[in-house]
């Protein structure tokens, strides 16, 4: 017989089974995060087979665009239908998308497959945080969510090296096909070990609101890429995209005001914690995810490191992330305070970006590695506060939607940052009168070609790229400062202490 569910009762009362379920969730996170890391080092190989160099950036942007668009929808679906089957559906979509990527026959088909993969990846990330909210109480949740940093460290350290190695040995398609066995294992484990808790209310899907939100998010991310698509973010086509985004955003707000089950309840914005963490997540996504895409390029062009050697430096940044995240998780669990970690995280971000702006072609590698570690430490310290903060401030029925909104803004911030930072570097290099022996267009210079240049030419290229990266780091420092202001404005909230609960039956 089913019994009523109270807010303090975990989804899985048995601790051992709870840890098993959590392990499957971490495996799913590993699959999704590894995909982003492993693809980056295989891009040159993919371009070598398909060509279409001008569109290779969309292999990453298409995934982020699709992921960002569906995140709030998945959060709401979990609130309405229960987390279990929504998450399993996301894993199925991601796995099928991975298969489609592995079978792609052209650049366009690969980009389309990445969109399908992103539709599943967005659901996986949102569902993991939502299921954790059902598994653990607030303070205990902070400690367990810190373990996700171990997954990030593993994927961040292994991904770049694994991507290059698998591409060389098995071909680039293997980096996508490896997700098939992982997806099957996770699906099987969740099917048998994760209970299904039926929501207490009848589901009513806000289809129009979901569509308008997806169109708004897609338009913003597309506008961020418009410098590559249309030559300028102020081109008339770019401005049309901005106007369209403004119209859909206005319509979305009007629809959400009247919807019985809004995809992102506007009542969440009544508590200042939610909008402030939206700003923090947007900035953190740009710093923690968006910048990673440019560290490898910075290292290879300004120091002459090979792709595999540059990949080793990611151990420093992911090591900092895991140290910061584990430390913050344990301290939040003990004290119940999360604001100080957001403030510390973004303060470190400002300092790290300013230090990077002073790097030049002759900077010793150990200094660069140390700064990458510090920046990773800052990312780790602030990684959990947005999720924990909004989950604590949101009503129980809106936890999934709030979690989805936070993760959405983080991924959206990453997608926008990738495009904006890329435009900064490209504009800095564009129009430079390059008179370097052995160099044609500097934008088309690959790491392999750079390694074959004379020493004097390598030094000249390194100096040009170091100068192009300086405004990028200044821009990143400025965005981190905006996030810091939002973090300082957060209310000092203490999470509720752990309550000893009595087991309550869940629907199997």
**CB neighbour class for 208 (10 Å; exposed up to 12, middle 13-18, buried from 19):** middle
Tokens of 359: 């790097």
DSSP state of 496: P
**What percent of the residues of the chain are helix, what percent strand, and what percent coil, each to the nearest 5?**
75, 0, 25
Q: What is the pLDDT of residue 164?
A: 63
Count CB neighbours of 118 within 10 A: 27
Would you state the pLDDT for residue 13? 61
Q: Which string of DSSP letters, residue by residue, matches 203-235?
A: ----HHHHHHHHHHHHHHHHHHTHHHHHS-TTS
Higher pLDDT residue, 318 or 143? 318
What pLDDT sits at residue 99?
92
Q: Classify burial at 440, counting beta carbons within 10 Å of its beta carbon; exposed 0-12, middle 13-18, buried 19 or more.
A: exposed
pLDDT in tens, 304-358: 776 667 767 777 887 888 788 888 878 887 887 888 889 999 999 999 999 998 8
What does pLDDT average to over the chain? 76
pLDDT over threshold 60, residue 223: yes
Cβ pair 334, 498 in contact under 8 A:
no
Mean pLDDT of 294-310: 73
**What gap in Å lies between CA 464 and CA 476, rounded to an integer?**
19
Of 86, 68, 183, 99, nearest to 128 by C-alpha is: 86
Q: Which of 130, 123, 116, 33 is nearest to 86 (CA)?
A: 123
Q: pLDDT tier at 484 (50, 70, 90 boundaries)?
A: very high
- Which pLDDT score is estimated for 51? 57
Cα dihedral sign, 171-45-297-343? negative
Mean pLDDT for 424-441 is: 64
Q: Is the dihedral of CA 233, 235, 241, 245 positive or negative?
A: positive
Q: Check whether 505 has a pLDDT greater than 80.
A: no
Residue 26, helix vs strand vs coil: helix
What is the chain's Cα-based Rg? Answer: 22
User: Of 10, 112, 129, whose CA–CA distance to 55 is shortest?
Assistant: 112
Looking up tokens 């192009």 gives 468
Is the pLDDT score of 32 beyond 90? no
Nearest to 70 by CA among 221, 202, 176: 221
pLDDT at 93: 93
Average pLDDT over residues 362-387: 87
Question: Phi, psi (5° rounding) for residue 337?
Answer: -100, 130
* Cβ 341 vs Cβ 379: under 8 Å: no
Pick from 44-48, 66-70, 92-96, 269-273: least confident: 44-48
Q: pLDDT tens digits, residue range 103-138?
A: 888 888 888 888 899 888 888 877 777 777 667 665
Give the model's pLDDT for residue 295. Answer: 78
Asked if pLDDT for residue 486 goes beyond 70, the answer is yes
Confidence of residue 85 (pLDDT cuts 50, 70, 90): confident
What is the per-residue pLDDT for 347?
94
User: What number is the average pLDDT over the span 49-73?
Assistant: 69
Per-residue pLDDT, averaged over 15-20, amounts to 75
Of 375-379, 417-421, 441-445, 470-474, the range with the lowest mean pLDDT is 441-445
Long-range contact list for 151-154, CB < 8 A, 24+ apart?
151/26, 151/29, 151/30, 151/33, 152/33, 152/318, 152/321, 152/322, 152/325, 153/318, 153/319, 153/321, 153/322, 154/30
């Amino acid at each position: 017989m089913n019994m009523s569910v109270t807010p303090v009762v975990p989804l899985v009362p048995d601790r051992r089974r709870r840890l098993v379920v959590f392990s499957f969730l971490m495996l799913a996170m590993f699959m999704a995060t590894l995909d982003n890391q492993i693809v980056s080092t295989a891009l040159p190989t993919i371009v070598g087979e398909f060509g279409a160099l001008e569109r290779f950036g969309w292999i990453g942007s298409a995934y982020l665009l699709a992921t960002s668009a569906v995140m709030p929808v998945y959060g709401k679906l979990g609130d309405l239908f229960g987390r279990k089957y929504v998450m399993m559906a996301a894993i199925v979509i991601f796995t099928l998308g991975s298969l489609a990527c592995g079978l792609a026959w052209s650049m366009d088909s690969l980009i389309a497959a990445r969109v399908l993969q992103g539709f599943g990846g967005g659901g996986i990330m949102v569902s993991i945080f939502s299921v954790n909210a059902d598994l653990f109480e607030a303070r205990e949740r902070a400690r367990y969510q810190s373990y996700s940093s171990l997954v990030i460290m593993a994927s961040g350290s292994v991904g770049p090296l694994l991507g290059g190695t698998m591409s060389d040995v098995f071909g680039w398609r293997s980096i996508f096909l490896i997700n098939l066995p992982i997806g099957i294992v996770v699906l099987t484990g969740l099917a048998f070990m994760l209970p299904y808790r039926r929501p207490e209310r009848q589901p009513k899907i806000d289809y129009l609101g979901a569509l308008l939100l997806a169109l708004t998010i897609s338009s913003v991310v597309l506008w961020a890429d418009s410098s590559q698509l249309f030559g300028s973010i102020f081109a008339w086509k770019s401005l049309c995209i901005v106007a369209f985004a403004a119209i859909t955003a206005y319509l979305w707000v009007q629809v959400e005001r009247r919807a019985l089950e809004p995809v992102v309840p506007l009542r969440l914005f009544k508590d200042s914690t939610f909008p402030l963490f939206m700003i923090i997540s947007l900035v953190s996504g740009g710093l923690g995810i968006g910048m990673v895409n440019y560290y490898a390029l910075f290292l290879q062009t300004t120091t002459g490191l090979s792709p595999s050697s540059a990949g080793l430096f990611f151990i420093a940044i992911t090591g900092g992330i895991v140290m910061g995240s584990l430390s913050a998780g344990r301290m939040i669990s003990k004290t119940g305070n999360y604001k100080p970690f957001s403030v510390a995280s973004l303060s470190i971000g400002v300092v790290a970006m300013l230090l990077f702006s002073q790097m030049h072609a002759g900077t010793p590698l150990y200094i660069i590695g140390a700064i990458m570690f510090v920046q990773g430490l800052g990312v780790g310290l602030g990684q959990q506060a947005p999720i924990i903060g909004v989950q604590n401030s949101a009503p129980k029925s809106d936890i999934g939607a709030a979690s989805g909104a936070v993760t959405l803004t983080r991924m959206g911030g990453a997608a926008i940052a990738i495009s904006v930072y890329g435009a900064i570097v490209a504009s800095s290099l564009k129009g430079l009168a390059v008179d370097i022996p052995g160099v044609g267009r500097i934008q088309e210079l690959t790491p392999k070609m750079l390694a074959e240049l004379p020493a004097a030419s390598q030094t000249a290229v390194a100096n040009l790229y170091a100068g192009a990266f300086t405004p990028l780091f200044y821009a990143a420092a400025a965005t981190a400062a905006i996030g810091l202001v939002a973090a300082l404005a957060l209310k000092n909230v203490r999470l509720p202490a752990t309550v000893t609960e009595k087991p309550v039956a869940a629907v199997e």
